[in-house]
Structure 1
Amino acid sequence: MLQKTRGIALSYIRYRETSIIARIYTEEFGLQSYIVNSVRTARNKNNKIALFQPLTLLDMVVYNKPDRELHRLSEMKTSYPFQSLPFEVAKSTIAMFVTEMLNKVLKEEAGSPPLFKFLMDSVLFLEEAKTNYENFHIAFLLKLSFYLGFGPESAREFESQLRENSYPFLPDDEMETALNTMLRYPLGTPIKLARSARNELVDALVTYYHIHLDSLGEVKSLPVLREVLG
């Protein structure tokens, strides 16, 4: 049955000679995998494989069969062509890290329009932001944790949970203020953080996710993120 849905591209793997299997978080059906044929050929002049780069926003018509693990796409196009996110080193590094985390934490389940809206709005913010996005990944993970069911109500609660799990997180006043600001205010709210503090917060957040999600595993993009943004 053909159905329309919006989606956010997360990753893809090669499939046979010319096709891919794309993982896409959809508004209607949650996390889904789609076979996309003939996107890795010389004849594909439209460069459709670019539609499956990390965080690309998609409008899709899909064949949805609930009893299948792999689905097929009938039509697809980007709903918002990116002008900065794939081309600016800082933004593309953030996108790489965020996409890896989403691939790890989003599950194959029914669609969640509130979560999809949060993800889409966050991607649009990162794409359009000219300033005040250097802490985006930290604020994003803090806010995402509420949709996943384990968001901390305050910096003190965040610190307490880490220390209860033997992680020595001792934020100073500046870091505590930054955490509370990120928890309470929208993405892009100006926050001053030293490079060392930003690294410390990212490490603490990844550990916080490990505490709540046993299957998280190694976050391979973390060293690159530290190097580029810190």
Structure 2
Amino acid sequence: MLIIATNAIVLSSLKFGDSSLIVKCFTLQDGLKSYLVRGVLKSKKGGLKVAYFQPLTQLKIVANHNAKNTLNSFKEIQVFNSYQSIYQDIVKQSIAFFLSEVVSNVIQEEEANEALYSFLEASFNWLDAHEKVANFHLVFLLKLTSFLGFYPDISEIEKPRFHLLDGYFTEDNFDKHVISGNDVVQFKKLVHINFENLEQLSFTKLERQVVLQMLISYYKLHIDSFRNPKSIEVLEAVFR
């Protein structure tokens, strides 16, 4: 057992027994870790608060880290980069739940990935600080693929079709994984967008749903264990 001090981002929490939680975090120092938080659901003064374990909460922790694939425990916790709007704004909250589910789904490694951690931290801080965020999750999903190893090859982006399985733009229309027409036009809009120029990105409600489904399909084709996010229905309902 090692005592580790590190930053962490909460990805999920699951009730365990009557009063405890199992909390999954992505940590700066050790990657993905799960913690048993005993008695946190009991009403009491002081101690740990359930609010610490909302999706995407950023923490500074001191924790006991055990061998791989076992539950760990917190010794000290404090909120870091406290959000001002994510949990008060229904749109941002829906995005946060959706993205926490996706990130929890795609990150499996119990090892440090400082570049990925920095991307997540900066992205969620940006979401908290800005108002026009209707397309934030789409840009986030595409950018996340660069850390997962399947960012699209855009060297021939002028071509009219995109192969979701092979990840490149093409002239060919030879199998079911190729998108074309208006679908690929909307997909191309994402490629040169950063969070800083997100306001330049314009989709109708239907286009936003179509692009999201294309990105989900893209993830499914490249990550065997990827599951359709349960929170996607709530997210789509918010933008109707």
TM-score normalised according to structure 1 size = 0.90
- Does the CA contact (< 8 Å) of 2:6 and 2:27 recur in 1? yes
Identity %: 29
Matched residues, number? 227
- Does the CA contact (< 8 Å) of 2:3 and 2:63 recur in 1? yes
Q: What SS class does the counterpart of residue 198 from structure 2 fall into?
A: coil
Equivalence for 1:124: 125
**Does 2:234 match 1:224?**
yes
Equivalence for 1:169: 179
The amino acid that maps onto 2:34 is S
Gap runs ≥5 in structure 1: none
**Does 2:207 match 1:197?**
yes
The amino acid that maps onto 1:213 is I
Equivalence for 2:16: 15
Question: Which region of structure 1 is more displaced relative to structure 2, 50-59 or 31-40?
Answer: 31-40
Equivalence for 1:159: 162
Q: CA 1:35–1:157 in 2, change beyond 3 Å: closer, same or farther?
A: farther
The amino acid that maps onto 1:196 is L
**Does 2:191 match 1:180?**
yes
Question: Which region of structure 1 is more displaced relative to structure 2, 18-27 or 43-52?
Answer: 43-52
Equivalence for 1:42: 43
Q: CA 1:208–1:179 in 2, change beyond 3 Å: closer, same or farther?
A: same
Which whole-Å CA distance do the structure 2 matches of 1:164 and 1:220 have between them? 32
- Does the CA contact (< 8 Å) of 2:61 and 2:77 recur in 1? yes
Q: What SS class does the counterpart of residue 70 from structure 1 fall into?
A: coil
Q: CA 1:158–1:101 in 2, change beyond 3 Å: closer, same or farther?
A: farther
Equivalence for 1:140: 140
Give the CA deviation at 1:46: 5.9
Give the CA deviation at 1:18: 2.1
Give CA-to-partner distance per residue, 1:53-95, whole Å, 9 cap, x none. 0000000001122345111100001112222101111111111
Equivalence for 1:73: 74
Give the CA deviation at 1:217: 2.1
Give the CA deviation at 1:36: 1.2
Give the CA deviation at 1:16: 2.7
Give the CA deviation at 1:213: 0.9
Question: Which region of structure 1 is more displaced relative to structure 2, 117-126 or 166-175?
Answer: 166-175
TM-score normalised according to structure 2 size = 0.86
Gap runs ≥5 in structure 2: 166-172
Which whole-Å CA distance do the structure 2 matches of 1:56 and 1:130 have between them? 19
The amino acid that maps onto 2:163 is S
**Does 2:207 match 1:206?**
no
Give CA-to-partner distance per residue, 1:152-210, whole Å, 9 cap, x none. 1336698222577614632538525412223xx34553211111111110000000000
Equivalence for 1:113: 114
- Does the CA contact (< 8 Å) of 2:12 and 2:55 recur in 1? yes
